[in-house]
Structure 1
Amino acid sequence: MATNDDRPRVLLVSFEFMEFFDDTYKPLIEALSEKAAVQRVKTANPAIRTLEQDPKAVLITDGGIANELGKYGRVWDAILAYVRRGGTAIVMGHFSSFVKPDNIKPFFAKAGLSWERGSYHRTTTTLNRTNAGPMADKLPASYSQKALSVSKVDPAHVWYASTAESVVESHVFAPTSAHTPSEAAVALAVVGDGKLAYLGDVNAEDGSNDAVLAMCGFL
């Protein structure tokens, strides 16, 4: 997926890459590829070298860094340095499915965020239009997603979250409330001069793909 073209670059950091990622996220990758040169790295040194070139956006596509923070801590430090000088990094894809729950808090703590593991279920989430800013009119007002939310999220960082009307959407169990204040399925925080985001969706819903494109400035 490396390329020599001179378009803006989007870097996929995939230290625990699974082959079915490309099938699941094919619509997103194709949409990104229309706007940018998409490059994937699976090891530390190429990741750090590419980060030094200030790509347009960085997508952390799995839990590799968080699950092995001792091994990949210097890459996470390099990503955070890139963000603080104005970059955009998005934690998404297989991260929410395969990150070890106890690794979420220390991972985000290095960015100065209090985010922790939250609820995991399918429910309809609603966009916080104020936080999404100019992108709000281009994003779905709400959509159903099965997601691992993060908790202890500052209200100013929430993009998509449950509301008081949200219920757990299940074919097996009766609907119960899915609303937990301070949680978000999609969140974006300002870190230094840049942005760090999280998408907990496990199924690559169209609304989540749109959120990624918006955060990258491509929607």
Structure 2
Amino acid sequence: MPNVLVLSFEGFSFSSRQLFEHLLPKLLSRAVVHESLTIQDALHYISSGWPNILLVTDPIITEESDESKRLLAEVVNFTREGCTTILMGFFAAAVNYDRLDEILKDDFGLRWRVSEYTKHDTRLHSLDENLIRASSLVPTFCAKALYLGHVPTAQTIYGGRSGANPNAYAAFARVGLGKLGYIGDVNFTEEPERLILAMCHLDRPEDSGQSMETGAS
């Protein structure tokens, strides 16, 4: 089973389901999950090489403290070595936009940039099935999110438009030997739950076409 390390530093415990009510039971049935509530604990698990997947639920890794910078460096290196890292949960709602742009460019080597915080319809793009499977994902929905611009079509999972400009609600790209995912949603509904599972390659056939609530316990 994959090992999933959840980084939750700002008081909203993932394990208490304050983020996504039904996601944790799904993860626990498909992976080994550990939640780090301190930077030191996260550094210990990452340096041990334990996780296959990192779920970053808040923007502590983007802050300017020495500890945060050290953690960011470890996350970037570990991602490049083969880990799947997903920025999700409260990350988009609380991150500093300029700092996120800087990290995406300088640390992860991506063109992605913050576009706007807004609400509009998004649609599922044609996807590389080796990167992420689409079978459990809904084709369209309306989402309030921090959208990204300058995301290549091949790296856009869900996209929409604000005027003439294409925006990405969710993006996924190869970074070195690993992958970086971004979900800009600021609500914790069924669509981003399904998307997180798909990015982790932990989606199942039974997830398709049914409410997440029907499988939760």
**TM-score over 0.5 (shorter chain):** yes
Kept in 2: contact 1:11–1:41 (CA 8 A) = yes
Quickly say closer, same or farther: Cα 1:132–1:209, change in 2 above 3 A. Answer: farther
Q: Does 1:49 align with 2:44?
A: yes
- Distance in 2 between the 1:204 and 1:191 partners? 26
In the alignment of these two chains, the number of paired residues is: 199
Q: So what's the TM-score if we normalise by structure 1?
A: 0.82
Q: So what's the TM-score if we normalise by structure 2?
A: 0.83
Residue segments in structure 1 that go unaligned for 5+ positions in a row? 1-6, 164-177
Shift of 1:129: 2.0
Could you list the per-position Cα deviations for residues 21-78 of structure 1 after superposition, in whole angstroms to 9, with x for gaps in the alignment?
7323121122111111221112222212212324121000001111336431121111
What percent of counterpart residues are identical?
A: 30
Aligned partner of 1:36: which letter? A
The answer for the alignment partner of 1:58 in structure 2 is 54
The answer for the alignment partner of 1:166 in structure 2 is none
Q: Secondary structure at the match of 2:133?
A: helix
- Distance in 1 between the 2:121 and 2:54 partners? 27
The answer for the alignment partner of 1:33 in structure 2 is 28
Q: Secondary structure at the match of 1:73?
A: helix
**For residues 24-173 of structure 1, what are the structure 2 equivalents within 5 Å?**
24-51=19-46, 52-68=48-64, 70-109=66-105, 110-131=107-128, 135-163=133-161
Q: Secondary structure at the match of 1:204?
A: coil
Greater Cα offset, 151-160 or 20-29: 20-29
Q: Does 1:191 align with 2:175?
A: yes
Shift of 1:203: 0.6
Could you list the per-position Cα deviations for residues 145-178 of structure 1 after superposition, in whole angstroms to 9, with x for gaps in the alignment?
1111112212221000115xxxxxxxxxxxxxx3
Instruction: Select which of 175, 184, 187 maps to 1:200.
Output: 184
Could you list the per-position Cα deviations for residues 110-152 of structure 1 after superposition, in whole angstroms to 9, with x for gaps in the alignment?
1111322212122221111234556122211112211111122
- Distance in 1 between the 2:81 and 2:52 partners? 12
Quickly say closer, same or farther: Cα 1:69–1:185, change in 2 above 3 A. Answer: farther
Q: Secondary structure at the match of 1:26?
A: coil
- Distance in 1 between the 2:11 and 2:154 partners? 32
Q: Secondary structure at the match of 2:58?
A: coil
